[in-house]
Amino acid sequence: MKVDLVVLDIAGTTVQEHGLVYRALAETVETAGGSSADVHRWMGADKREAISSMLGRSDVDAEFADFHDRLAKFYAETPPEPLPGVPETLAWLRSNGVKVALTTGFDQPVVDGLLDVLGWRDGVVDAVVTVDGVPAGRPAPYMIFKSMGLTGATDVRRVLTAGDTVRDLEAGMNAGAGFVVGVLSGSQTAEELGAARHTHLLSSVAEIPKLIQSRGVA
């Protein structure tokens, strides 16, 4: 079956951001008097939800602002960059008639800064969906569904999703995507990703064109 849309996570999947988001998250929670011992449990999740859960309260506006400030400082010191092979993969997909959407547990202000640093504002992908634009973040499938709406994809069986966290895989499965791909370019291992339902495990997004060609679906 032809692939109409590829939905990709950002941090750890298409972008190397050196784990700075989780450093910022941990420092924010610790500064607020909480424990960041389980910060990696929130990989791929809504960052406001992560802060709220780790602190055990819902009123986290000040802490969420602190997280933004810390992350902006870290990104200024160590700018994010595309993972190897990602720009070529994005170009190949779009040149072969496959739409590309990025989804993320970041909110819009963080993503705006990332896209500016990467030079991905125009002509690189077809849609970008942030967690603050849907009813719930991963593992809910809403960012995938919104990506379909923005790109005109109508058959979820013709959607390929890829990400570096278990939550990415859970969201893909919950959406009913035809291809749910785990990539090993992030900080979760093959054992961790392999324990979640998926259709494929790849070393990186750079292998997606080969997968699509081998299936004869582009």
pLDDT tens digits, 153-187: 999 999 999 999 999 999 999 999 999 999 999 98
| Listed residues 77, 99, 121: the one ending a domain | 77
Whether residue 58 sits in one domain with residue 72: yes
Whether residue 194 sits in one domain with residue 86: yes
Split at pLDDT 50, 70, 90, the class of 217 is: low
Whether residue 164 sits in one domain with residue 59: no
Side chain identity, residue 52: S
Side chain identity, residue 97: G
Across the range 190-195, mean pLDDT stands at: 96
Element (H, E) at 202: strand 200-202
Longest dimension (CA), the chain: 53
| 148 backbone φψ class: left, alpha, beta (φ>0; ψ -120 to 50) | alpha
Backbone angles phi, psi at 129, to 5 degrees: -120, 125
Whether residue 69 sits in one domain with residue 99: no
* Whether the Cβ atoms of residue 99 and residue 212 lie closer than 8 Å to each other: no
Whether residue 70 sits in one domain with residue 141: no
| Listed residues 55, 77, 99: the one ending a domain | 77
Whether residue 70 sits in one domain with residue 94: no
Whether residue 208 sits in one domain with residue 139: yes
| Listed residues 38, 62, 77: the one ending a domain | 77
Give me the helix-helix angle, 108-118 and 61-77, nearest 10°. 10
165, HSE (Cβ side, Cα atoms, 13 Å): 20
Q: Which range of residues forms the domain containing residue 173?
A: 5-16+81-215
Residue-wise pLDDT for 130-143, tens only, equals 999 999 999 999 99
Whether residue 90 sits in one domain with residue 9: yes
Residue 103, strand partner residues: 9, 129
Residue-wise pLDDT for 32-50, tens only, equals 999 998 888 887 788 999 9
Taking the C-alpha atoms of residue 12 and residue 10, their distance in angstroms, rounded to an integer, is 6
DSSP calls for 103-154: EESS-HHHHHHHHHHHT-SSSS-SEEEEGGGSSS-TTSSHHHHHHHHHHT--
Whether residue 211 sits in one domain with residue 166: yes
The pTM (predicted TM-score) of the whole model is 0.88
Whether residue 95 sits in one domain with residue 56: no
Element (H, E) at 191: helix 190-194
Whether residue 132 sits in one domain with residue 194: yes
Whether residue 126 sits in one domain with residue 27: no
Taking the C-alpha atoms of residue 132 and residue 105, their distance in angstroms, rounded to an integer, is 8
If you count them, how many residues does the chain have? 218
Q: What CATH number is associated with residue 86?
A: 3.40.50.1000
Q: 1 pLDDT exceeds 80?
A: no
